[in-house]
Structure 1
Amino acid sequence: MPTNKVEPQESPPIIISYVKDLANLCSLAGLACTILAIYFSLIGIYYAAIIGMIWAVAFDWADGLVARKMKGRTPSDQTFGMQLDALIDVVNYGVTPAILLLSYGNFEPIFLPGAFILVAASAIRLSYFNTYGLSGDAKYTGLALDNNNIALAFIFLFESVFSAGIFSVILYVSSLGLAALNVSQIKTPKLSYNPANVYRLTFYTLMITGIYSWKLL
């Protein structure tokens, strides 16, 4: 009688094995910068928080560059890396700016809706991208989330020009504007694909780090 043999399925790799992937290490390094940014936001050292936020962007771009250069990555490696990157992006570009906004607003209840909108917009934006990917002309639909940190790092350069009360309003309005752009229908290019933009981000990261380090002195 013929027998139906069940082929043994290959066991999936252990969870922690993905940490040795260099691209994933870059993602986790960005997460470490984000944790520092959250910490410094909570204790009110905002210039240090901004440094952490811009370095989170740098490592986020680096993980994609490294992943494209690596050879021998399996489809499961790529899928895991994309899922890890997306989850970290919500923290980098949604949760962290929300905590920065709340902290700068002295955790007044009026800042809670803005914080929620920032996090919700980042989650919706990434869920949409994970579902539909890039548009037909190879552009993002909605402002890419990494622009949130890039813009906030620039906006915070003017923090000392205004009183804390006025700047908290500026920060609130800017955050809501960024969230609206995140979930809008505008088309934006994938900046990290252009080598010239990588150099520009490197210069911007070093410049922002230098400026805010000087402000911390």
Structure 2
Amino acid sequence: MTKQPTILSYVRDIPNFLSLSGLACTLLAIYFSITGLYYAAMIGMVWAVAFDWADGLVARKLKGRTSTDAKFGGQLDVLIDIVSYGVTPAVLLLSYGHFEPVYLIGAFIMVSAAAVRLSYFSTYGLAGGTKYTGLALDNNSLILVFIFLFEGFFSHEVFSAVLYISGVTLAILNVSEIKTPKLSGNPRNVYLLALYTLTISAVYGFFLR
């Protein structure tokens, strides 16, 4: 009988280590959102996406990974995604809205949409093997990070509404029937994400000075 591997043995798997690195970025994004350092939170959010894409890319390149390794990695990825792309944007919205009760509605919609979206994908996978049903959740962070670049052009009250509407709109798109391509599967898009991540990090790093 084959000995069952230990839980922590999977942390040594490079794709899983990258997934956990993304989770660390997500935790920083949540921390900075709560403490009001929103520019730092944006950097954490975009790097969480970068690590999320990297784990899949490395997993596809690695040889010798078993079906069990792939299954564990897939489960870990889904659990981290709900935090990165559901909880984190919701915490950002709540914090920016000074945790007023009305923002709980938007936050619940965002987290719920992420949970439903991930459950649907775990059940049915890619439509036709090539496209997602509904907007993929990583787009939420990429779009919100871009929208936040314009925060300084609005009053706090107005941008709170912009953030609220944007978050809820993305949640609706997450659970819609639209078909979107799997961007992370294209090597050209990986380079574009790397450029986007570095650019966003540099811009928000400048804002933090």
**Fold shared by both chains (TM-score > 0.5):** yes
> Post-superposition shift, 1:209?
0.3
1:142-181 matched pairs, under 5 angstroms: 142-181=134-173
Greater CA radius of gyration, 1 or 2? 1
> Match of 1:39?
31
1:137 Cα offset (Å): 5.4
Report the residue type matching 1:28 in the other structure. L
Corresponding position: 1:102 with 2:101: no
Q: How far, CA to CA, are the matches of 1:12 and 1:84 in structure 2?
A: 18
Distance in 2 between the 1:79 and 1:14 partners? 15
Q: 1 CA distance for matches of 2:75 and 2:36? A: 32
SS for the counterpart of 1:51 is helix
SS of the residue aligned with 1:81? helix
Which residues of 2 match residues 119-198 of structure 1 at below 5 A? 119-136=111-128, 138-198=130-190
Shift of 1:136: 1.3
Q: Does 1:20 align with 2:12?
A: yes
The Cα shift of 1:10 comes to 2.5
Q: Whole-Å Cα distance in 2 between the matches of residues 213 and 104 of structure 1?
A: 19
Q: Distance in 2 between matches of 1:124 and 1:130?
A: 10
1:182 to partner: Cα distance:
0.3
Structure 2 residue matching 1:185: 3-state secondary structure: coil
Displacement of 1:138 in angstroms is 1.3
Which stretch of structure 1 is more off in the superposition, 134-143 or 74-83?
Answer: 134-143
Which whole-Å CA distance do the structure 1 matches of 2:52 and 2:130 have between them? 19
The letter for the 2-side match of 1:38 is: I
Partner of 2:47: 55
Query: Corresponding residue for 2:204?
Result: 212
Find the aligned partners of 2:186 and 2:60 in 1 and give their Cα distance.
13
| Aligned-partner SS, 2:176 | coil
Which residue number in structure 2 is paired with residue 111 of structure 1? 103
CA distance in 2, matches of 1:138, 1:154: 26
What letter is aligned with 2:50?
A
AA partner of residue 93 (structure 2): L
Matches of 1:167 and 1:11, distance apart in 2: 55
| Matched AA of 1:79 | K
Q: Hey, what does 1:3 align to over in structure 2? A: none
Amino acid at match of 2:13: D
Deviation at residue 153 of structure 1 after TM alignment? 0.6
* Structure 2 residue matching 1:188: 3-state secondary structure: strand
Q: Shift of residue 166 of structure 1?
A: 0.2
Partner secondary structure for residue 14 of structure 1: coil
Taking structure 1 as the reference length, the TM-score comes to 0.95
Letter in 2 for 1:76: T
Percent identity of paired positions between Structure 1 and Structure 2: 67
Residue 82 (structure 2) pairs with residue 86 (structure 1): no
Secondary structure in 1 matching 2:24: helix
Give aligned pairs, total.
209
Aligned residue for 1:184, secondary structure, equals coil
Q: Distance in 1 between matches of 2:159 and 2:112?
A: 23
Please report the RMSD computed on the Cα atoms of aligned residues, expressed in angstroms.
0.7
